[in-house]
Structure formats: C-alpha cells, structure tokens
Structure 1
Amino acid sequence: MFDTLIDKLENSTYITLETTPGHSPQFSPTVDKIDALGLDKLVDGFSTTDNPLAKLKYNALFAAKMLQDRFNKPVIATMSMRDRNKIALQSDLLGANEVDVRAILALTGDPATISDQPHAKGVFEADSSLLLDIISAFNSGMNYAGKPLTYKPKELYPFAVMNSYAKNPKTLQKKMQKKIKHGAIGIITQPVYDLENAKQLLELKEIANNECCGERKSAELILGVFPITKLRTAQFLAAHVPGINVPDNWIEALRIANANGGADEEYKVGFELSKKLFDELKEYHPKIHLMTANQFQIAKDILV
C-alpha cells in the first residue's frame, strides 16, 4: 500500500485528498460521504488533520485507520507537536505502527491560545523537526533516546508542510532544506494559486535537495490546492493567512461576479478559476494535495 504511494510520489501522478475529522465521536459519516461519491477511485490516498486551529476534533490516527480499512488506500495521518511531548509522540507511533498507520505528517500546530477549550496549554517541546527525528530513529529500530525497541517497527513515511509564498524566497528554501535534513520524503505546500508560484517553489526544492545531497536525502514537493468559490474566502486568505498569495485577479474576478450575479455567479467563477489551476498544476507537476474543508462534491468536480 505505502510502497505504491511512494512510487507514485517519486515517479508518477500523485493525488491525495485531505479529510478533516469532525467535533464528534463518529468519523464514519465522513467515510460514507467519500464512498458515496466514489472519491477513493479518483485519488491515490488521503490525509487526516489533527485538531486544526487547536479546535477539538476526532483523532487523526483513528480516522486514518478507518479510511484505510474502508478503501484500502494509504492515509497520511497528521500529528501535531502542540499536544504531545516526546513520550506521547512515540507511544502514538508505536500503536499506530501495528495497525499500519505509517505515513505521518509532522506539524508544529496552531497555538493553543486560539483553542475552543478553556485554558488549554500547548506542549511544544520542539517544532515538527523533533517528530521527523523520532521517525528516523524508529526506522532504525530505536526510540528517540537511542534504546532499541523490542521489535523493529514497520517502516514509517514522514511528510512535512511549508508555506507556499514568502517575500524573500530564500526563507522558503531554508525551510525546505531543514525539513529534508530531518528526513521528510514529501513536503506539502500551503495552497498555491498560480503556475508561476508553483514553478518558483519547484526551483527552490531542487536547490534545497542539492544542498542536502551530501546527506543522501531528498524530498518531493507536493503542491497544495484549496479551491476558492467565495469572495470572502479569497479576501480572508489574502489578508489573514501568512504564507499564501491569492492573486489580485482572482479577488477582482470574484468581486465582479458577486456584484453582477450574486452567490451563484461567484461560485461559478471561483470554481472555474480553481479547476483551471488544478488542471494546469497537474499537467506541469502532477503531485497535488487537494484540500476542500470536507466539501467533497467540490473535490469530485475538481478531480473529474
């Protein structure tokens, strides 16, 4: 299962779809929606998020297990540094390993100060590099303290994330190099909204891989795509989400659509822009992670 995913990442077309577990003790309704739309037949794998924005959600590792069991497709389970120290991180990885949840997206995590849980405190023993280092240790048969594990874990596949835009591109390159140095095999970007941005990121990735080649490490870049179908979404991303660049022409097109045709025209224009971008990116660099905030009909419309 995972060998096929990694082979696609390195040598072929690679499409994964993000799922966000809900504020609920049941993830099965989400799995059922994916099944009903046949999305499992349109992607190479899935991901599960881990309490994004520090809001309480269903566990990402359990959700990954459910998706894998239903569709026999690999799932990248997110693990946030915000909520676990190195003991909990390793314990979760040990349990997940036996049930074959072995692709892990290492994330530092949003601050606990924005949580919906009163007085929640972040752990943050380190940034996501610590989790990548733990995975490297596990793949060598040891825990992070260097003590051999009773049984060597099945191989783990570490992924990381990074911004898609910065005023100084050199900062993006340095962040890529750091993640590659700590063992990430795939780096998923924040949403990309134009082809030139994607080309720049791929150039930076090549430089980062070359800088790390002395350590015989490299990573593939996976372009994040988040369809925009509402003007207010475009405005919010542009104004309030660091590391993303929404082009002015997208915002203007959505503004005109909203003024002339209301919500329906706004959706139509936004979807057309998003679909065109997805198709362009897939043709240029067919390594894409699709994010739709569980709006799975939009995901299907983009993918077909």
Structure 2
Amino acid sequence: MSNIHNSIPLTAFRTAAQAGEFLVTAEVAPPKGGDPAHMIKMAATLKGRVHAVNITDGSRAVLRMCSVVASAILLQNGIEPICQIACRDRNRIGLQADLMGAHALGIHNILALTGDPVKAGDHPDAKSVFDLEAVRLLQLIHKLNHGVDCNEQPLSDGALDLFPGAAVDPQCASWSGLQSRFERKLAAGAQFFQSQLITDFERLEKFMDKIAVGSHKPILAGIFLLKSAKNAQFINRCVPGVNIPQHIIDRLAQAKDPLEEGMKIAAQQVQIARQLCQGVHMMAVKREDLIPQILDMAGVTAVI
C-alpha cells in the first residue's frame, strides 16, 4: 500500500480545478461493515464522469468505515478520492496522524470539516472531541504541507502534499456569518469549496457575486437527487438548514414516476449551477449509479 501513490498518480481533480475547468464530484458513503464491494460498485459507475469521488467521514455522526481506508480502497480501484476529514472524533494528534497516512497512501484531496454533532447520529452517547474545527484544521494542513506540525516542529520524514477544500453553505441564514466563515477558510488555505444541498439558486448567485467573487477558488454547488415527495419532506424535517421548496415537492408528488422526475429536477439544477459557479457536487444516496444519467440529461459530458 505504501507505494500506491507512485503506481497510481491520480490528480485529475487538482489539475482540473487549477485549470479552471467545470468540476464534477460525487458523494459515496463508506461501507457499514468490513466489505467494501457495494461502495466500489457505486464508485465504479462514476468512472470517467466525475473528477473525483467524495468519501464521507462519519456523516450525520453515523458509524461507517473510516474515510482514509475507504479512500485508499477507491484509489486501488483506479478512482480518485476526495477524503473528508472531520474534527469531531479526533484530537490534533489523531488528525495529523491520519493526514500523514492519507498522503502516504496517495490520497491528496482532503475536505476539511468540523463534523456533525454526535446527538444527530446512531451513537448519541459517544464523546465528542472537537479539539479543532474546520478553519484550524485547514491551518494545520497548511503547516503539514510546509513541513512542520501544529507546534511548528519539523516533519523529519518529509512535508505533505495535500489539496485541501472546505464546506460552504450559501443558504446560511446569517449573511455576515457566511461571509466571515468563507473568508477565514480562504485565508486558512482552502483551495476549493463544496456547498451544502442547494435549492435557492438566487441565493447561490448572490453568494457568488457578493462573497466568492475574487477568491479565484472553485465553488461546487451541492446537487441532491430527490427520489420522491416523501424523501423531500424527510430532508426538510431532518437536515438542518435545508428547505426544499413546496413547488418541487408538489412536482414530485404529481409525477407518474417520482424518481425520474427527481432526476429531471437534478439535471435542471446542474444546468443552472453551470452558469453560476465552477462545479457541482452530486449527491444521490444509495443511487449513485444514476448520476451519469443525470449528467447526460444536463448535457455534461465525460470529464476524462
């Protein structure tokens, strides 16, 4: 495993991001257990259609295989990962150790996250760590990339080469809070930004025009496949900060084939996002295999 980054130099995402190309990423969850076959199968359907596959790290505080190992498995299968690293479950020693391990395995794309609260997940009595949060994690990655640890001590066995990104929520209720957080993440070294699920594209456009303008960093709009009206209502109820508009819920409810209608909605959203920002992050929970069809419907061709 230690030579994996020499044998499979996958850097399509960083290369495309820095070249200003329209970026496409997609989210795949690690397995809940020891068999990665389903994760590999879903990710394989995305080959050639996305620049990288985003591997979640305890999303919604639900237990799954660790993101570094899951990302390494994708890399072994010729799929470039973006490895999410959340601060909730590790102190700064553990975070640095995992980041060094990721680099050694050839995993260079890192999405730095604070992490969802444990009360939201399937182990509500677990102890949270939160030694750092996303901005300080980005600062830490910057140090590691420059050959020192968080205490400014030299890394005797070499600097890292990580390409860090961060999350952003253009639909955040506090505009000043959104601007402050974005600017702090930018200053801390974020090289790309992945948004939460977007439903208000006027708000996204305002964010691009008023806050992201001049940053010269890719913003990827989060596009979510809604499978039914019931699915949309569940998201409104259970996902903080997300509001699926009633007209979309009605459209799904009235459709003969709600899943097909959800794909059409997602494709239309991709087309809107393409006019506003430099990429899309596709989310299709348990139906990642439909993402290529959605991209076809949106007129987004193969990336490689």
Q: Under a length normalisation based on structure 2, what TM-score does the superposition of the two structures give?
A: 0.87
Residue 249 of structure 1 corresponds to 247
Matched to 1:273, the amino acid is I
Residue 236 of structure 2 corresponds to 238
Residue 177 of structure 1 corresponds to 183
Correspondence 1:1-304 to 2 at 5 A: 1=9, 3-10=11-18, 11-35=20-44, 37=45, 39-71=46-78, 73-117=79-123, 119-207=125-213, 209=215, 219-257=217-255, 261=256, 265-304=257-296
Separation in 2 of the partners of 1:277 and 1:236?
Answer: 20
Separation in 1 of the partners of 2:286 and 2:238?
Answer: 21
- Tell whether the 8 Å contact from 1:173 to 1:208 is kept in structure 2 after alignment: no
- Tell whether the 8 Å contact from 1:164 to 1:191 is kept in structure 2 after alignment: no
If each structure's helix is expressed as a fraction of its own residues, which one has the higher value? Answer: 1
3-state SS, counterpart of residue 82 of structure 1 = coil
Q: Give per-residue Cα distances to partners, 1:257-300, cap 9 Å, x unaligned.
A: 3xxx4xxx322322221221112323543411111123122212
- Segments ≥4 residues shifted beyond 4 Å: none
- Tell whether the 8 Å contact from 1:78 to 1:106 is kept in structure 2 after alignment: yes
Q: Which runs of 5+ in 2 are unaligned?
A: 1-8, 297-304
Q: Give per-residue Cα distances to partners, 1:26-85, cap 9 Å, x unaligned.
A: 2233213432x3x211111111001112111011101111112212x4311011111000
Separation in 2 of the partners of 1:120 and 1:85?
Answer: 15
Q: Which runs of 5+ in 1 are unaligned?
A: 210-217
- Tell whether the 8 Å contact from 1:222 to 1:289 is kept in structure 2 after alignment: yes
Q: Give per-residue Cα distances to partners, 1:158-200, cap 9 Å, x unaligned.
A: 1111223033433322221121121111111001124323312
Separation in 2 of the partners of 1:118 and 1:189?
Answer: 26
Structure 1 residues 243 and 201, CA, compared in 2 at 3 Å: closer, same or farther? farther
The CA deviation at 1:107 is: 1.0
The CA deviation at 1:204 is: 3.5
Q: Give per-residue Cα distances to partners, 1:195-218, cap 9 Å, x unaligned.
A: 323312212443573xxxxxxxx5
Q: Percent identity?
A: 25
RMSD (Å), alpha carbons = 2.0
Structure 1 residues 116 and 237, CA, compared in 2 at 3 Å: closer, same or farther? closer
Separation in 2 of the partners of 1:95 and 1:297?
Answer: 30
Matched to 2:116, the amino acid is D
Out of 84-93 and 123-132, give the one that drifted further: 123-132
Structure 1 residues 121 and 208, CA, compared in 2 at 3 Å: closer, same or farther? farther
Matched to 1:34, the amino acid is A
- Tell whether the 8 Å contact from 1:172 to 1:204 is kept in structure 2 after alignment: no
Matched length:
287
Separation in 2 of the partners of 1:2 and 1:202?
Answer: 29
